[in-house]
Chain A
Amino acid sequence: MSESLDIDHSVVFVRRSEYLNFVQTLRSQGFEMCADLTAVDFLEFKDRSLPEDVEAQRFEVVVNLLSLSKRKRLRIRVQVPDDDPWVDSIFREYPGSEAMEREVYDLFGIVFRGHPDLTRILMPEGWEGHPLRKDYAPGRVPVQFKEVKTTR
């Protein structure tokens, strides 16, 4: 995990159980900002290349941390299984991740444990399903087109 920290734009794979501790460590090592937090649903892309010690799961939470003092970026990829999709929230380390974690929860259904206000942010409250999942078919809801009455 530590050797890749020297690379300019590095990617680190972290286990879900170690994720929060790892972020806390980075936070104290000068990564001041959580630039981005998103997720990917790998349901239809199972043979992606991963390091040998990483077990591929359906979801991947991708966190981009930014160090302004070192001018460095670091990307953390966390594997999240389908049957119990949760990760720890990093809200306490980076309050700026609040809206991004809500977005991932809204669109992927990944639960962030310890998030203060885990509700839908883009979709309406009460919406069923999580649209950015690969098994969420767009066009599933039929659109009603009204018949246009012509006067002629």
Chain B
Amino acid sequence: MTQDQRGTETNEGVLGLFVKETSEGPQELRPKQETQMEEFYLEEGYVLRVPEGDGVDLDEVDLDSIPDDETMIINMGPQHPSTHGVLRIMMELDGETILRSKPVIGYLHTGMEKTAEMLTFMQGSTNVTRMDYLSPLNNELVYSLAVESLMDLEIPPRATWIRMLMSELNRISSHVMWMATNGMDLGSTSMMIYGFRERELILGFLEKVTGLRMNHNYIRPGGVAADLPDGWYDDVVAICETIPFRVEEYQELLTGQPIFRERVEGVGVMTQEQALALSATGPILRATGIPWDLRKTMPYLYYDQVDFDVIVGSVGDTYDRYSVRLNEILESVRIVEQVIEKMPPGAYKTLDRKVTPPPRARIDESMEALIHHFKLHTEGYRVPAGESYVAIESPRGELGCYIVSSGENRPYRVHVRAPSFVNLQSLPVMLHGGLIADSVAVISSVDPVMGEVDR
């Protein structure tokens, strides 16, 4: 794919062509001489097939049969500092140019989808919040929305607005965290410190509201765990005033710097057709110029009542992905500013006694309240049989939750459609034809969170 094709329309013909181009038959790595011309074209997106753990027995290798070509296969990760966790990438190199690559994942797999089948619906949010540890509130939100859609539960307006507030603050903290790690990957250590400073500002507020800095278990089926604390309004206003000022600093520190621009511009280009075909969502998809943001295109919560713009790029390179995230921080601040003005009084969780335990004070007075409290916290509530898929826009893309309930107090099956997991597939396409030194910038621009990739 040349860069001239950037602006092409998303139509059947072009997309169909690409789909054909990525189907490449058996995934064996064969000698270069045997490769047909047709297969050379298919090299883009080709998946390397290297068995794990099987070392080569040197006695069995016939040295004469080794083809005399210049490519070599090297391994990056899983403990490489720029792979954002335990991502391992096999790369085929021709000199310094990357030909094919394959992400190898699973090092952080802990079977959280299986664990979710053992936990009650009420306990489930403690589990999903640990998947994407940079945006835990979004994970809880999508799980809660999926459970609520099965139960047809009515959520009070204040709870929904609080969810929006927390979700957007979490998006800001996730994006500044990405700014920080991306800066460090590209050698800008001051950006690392700056990004963590802003993240701390928001995590401080999240801690004040939820009691924890990460893995909050704050958004639960039925509403949120607690009302906003005293003085929350001033805290949020302070955040909203500080962040745009700090983003200005980022603009100076990174956007305006020729060294930074050199490293990211034109690197890891992905076209619209490729992004759609590879199911990429979030900033990666928007950087290619497709205005697809679930908050706008398929609104959930009250996103249809607030005013914000969907940020899109034009080229689909690493710089565009950086710009999209940077400007999304400002859009999130805009949303937060509207949310705090619209925050209504009222209940912060549903008053349905079958879902919400009675308040602590009632337990001392009423036997029924005590029974309800006990029943809900031991057995939990039952969710009608059925299945539901709910998707929201997490900082990394479409975060979906598919829940099957058999009518018991625990879900029959919980599946989380993790944006990082799916977005990682676009790495071979982005890396193809680039230099190995750029791979760090490209991997970082995908923003993979390995906890979510492996679940």
Contacts and interface: CB of A to CB of B under 8 A. Distances in A.
B113 A132 contact: yes
A96 B292 contact: no
A110 B22 CA distance: 23
A35 B279 contact: yes
Nearest to A133: B114
B422 A100 contact: yes
Contacts, number: 120
A97 B105 contact: no
A77 B10 CA distance: 28
B52 interface: yes
A97 B425 CA distance: 9
A97 B278 CA distance: 7
A22 B400 CA distance: 23
Most buried by A among B406, B413, B421: B413
A17 interface: no
B106 A116 contact: no
A68 B400 contact: no
B12 interface: yes
B23 A75 contact: no
Interface string A58-82: 0000101000100101010000000
A122 B290 CA distance: 31
A96 B277 contact: yes
B27 A122 contact: no
Given A95-B45, A138-B111, A45 B23 contact: no
A34 B275 CA distance: 11
Contact of A33 (B279, B387, B404): B279
A75 B290 CA distance: 23
Interface residues on B, range: 35 or more
Contacts of B404: 40, 45
B105 A96 contact: no
A116 B24 contact: yes
Contacts of A98: 47, 425
A92 interface: yes
Contacts of B412: 40, 44-45
Nearest to A62: B402
B185 interface: no
A99 B424 contact: yes
A93 interface: yes
B52 A125 contact: yes
Interface string B288-299: 001010000110
Contacts of B23: 91-92, 95, 116
Interface string B175-209: 00000000000000000000000000000000000
Contacts of A57: none
B109 interface: yes
Contact of A95 (B27, B105, B278, B391): B278
Nearest to B402: A38
B137 to A, nearest CB: 21
B49 A117 contact: yes
B389 A95 contact: no
Interface residues of A, number: 45
B276 A33 contact: yes
A130 B194 CA distance: 44
Contacts of A99: 421-422, 424-425
Given A36-B417, A68-B292, A132 B106 contact: no
A131 B47 contact: no
B384 to A, nearest CB: 11
Nearest to B108: A122
B437 interface: no
B52 A68 contact: no
Contacts of B279: 33-35, 94, 96-97
Most buried by B among A28, A33, A34, A44: A33
Contacts of B53: 124-126
B280 A32 contact: no
Contacts of A120: 106
B100 to A, nearest CB: 12
- Give 4 closest A-B pairs by Cβ, nearest first: A96-B279, A117-B27, A36-B417, A122-B106
Given A40-B412, A64-B400, 19 more contacts: A36-B417, A38-B402, A38-B415, A45-B404, A62-B389, A64-B389, A64-B402, A68-B292, A92-B23, A95-B278, A96-B277, A97-B279, A98-B47, A107-B113, A117-B27, A123-B109, A124-B53, A125-B52, A138-B114
Interface of B: 10, 12, 15, 19-20, 22-27, 45, 47, 49, 51-53, 105-106, 109, 111, 113-114, 118, 276-281, 290, 292, 297-298, 385, 387, 389, 391, 398, 400, 402, 404, 406, 412-413, 415, 417, 421-422, 424-425, 454-455
14 contacts: A36-B415, A36-B417, A38-B415, A40-B387, A40-B412, A45-B404, A68-B276, A73-B389, A99-B425, A100-B422, A103-B421, A122-B455, A124-B52, A138-B114
Interface of A: 9, 28, 32-36, 38, 40-41, 44-45, 48-49, 62, 64, 68, 71, 73, 75, 91-100, 103, 107, 116-117, 119-126, 131-132, 138
